[in-house]
Amino acid sequence: MPALAAAAAPYSGHHQCTAREKHLSMQFRSKRSARLNSQRRPRCRLQVSICQSRPSNDSVVGVDDDDALDDLLNKYGKVVYQGGDLKKPSEEAEDDAESLSFAVALAKVANDVKAADIRVLFVKPLVYWTRFFIIVTAFSRPQIDAIGSRIRDIAKKQFTRTASGDTKPNSWTLLDFGDVVVHIFLPPQRAFYNLEEFYGNATLIELPFDNSLSG
């Protein structure tokens, strides 16, 4: 299958959408599709998304307007196929294995800082911008800050990796390492956005530690 790249806003270009923006855009498109077709598009197919502006605060913006989607398409362009980005299957497998090792290491860091309900999802077959999601719950903004700071520190010292995304604790804090995206939620926001359900066809990774008693 050809790799995907953004025509007007490539992954490494000047305008780089965050994983949060892409997820919100996919939610927007899913609602629009459901309204037009009365059924949600099967999640087992690769979903193509565009950028959507990030809400200015922790509240949810209830935008559901066809004109808004058209404006986003006009502003950021569509996602198109590019054959030049193809890798050999063996190279893809090596990249996936390296990303998995990194994701599990970061999940272990979150567990050490008492994050709860830790999930690592292999989302590469469903999205084009990353391989793995790490989804965790924290119970206060100080704990979110502690989890995020520890993950950034370990990623930089042990893996020479630096995340983009949030630098201050929000109710949905995001650390984007490119191939691995970390989502740290307060309980109400995790329940509302429900990434596990939205990406329900992603593969759940079994973790080498017990997280059942965290939190």
Residues 101 and 185 in one domain: yes
Are residues 61 and 142 located together in one domain of the fold? no
**Does a structural domain hold residue 215?**
no
Q: What DSSP line would sit under 128-177, residue for residue?
A: SS-SEEEEEE-SSHHHHHHHHHHHHHHHHHHH----EE-SS--SEEEEE-
User: What pLDDT, on a 0 to 100 scale, did the predictor assign at position 168?
Assistant: 87
Domain span including residue 71: 3-85
Residue 17 lies in a domain: yes
Residue 211: per-residue pLDDT: 76
Tell me which of 50, 85, 120 is where a domain ends. 85
Looking at the structure, do residues 17 and 31 belong to the same domain, yes or no? Answer: yes
Band (56; pLDDT cuts 50, 70, 90): very low
Residue 34 per-residue DSSP state = H
As for how many domains the chain has, the answer is: 2
Q: What is the pLDDT of residues 184-202, one digit of tens each?
A: 999 999 999 999 999 999 9
Helix (H) or strand (E) holding 62: none
> Checking phi first, is residue 165 left (phi over 0); if not, alpha (psi -120 to 50) or beta?
left
| Residues 11 and 99 both lie in one domain | no
Mean pLDDT score across all residues of the chain = 74
pLDDT-based confidence at 11, cuts 50/70/90? very low
pTM of the model: 0.64
**Are residues 146 and 198 part of one domain?**
yes
CATH of the domain at 142: 3.30.460.10
69 and 101 assigned to the same domain: no
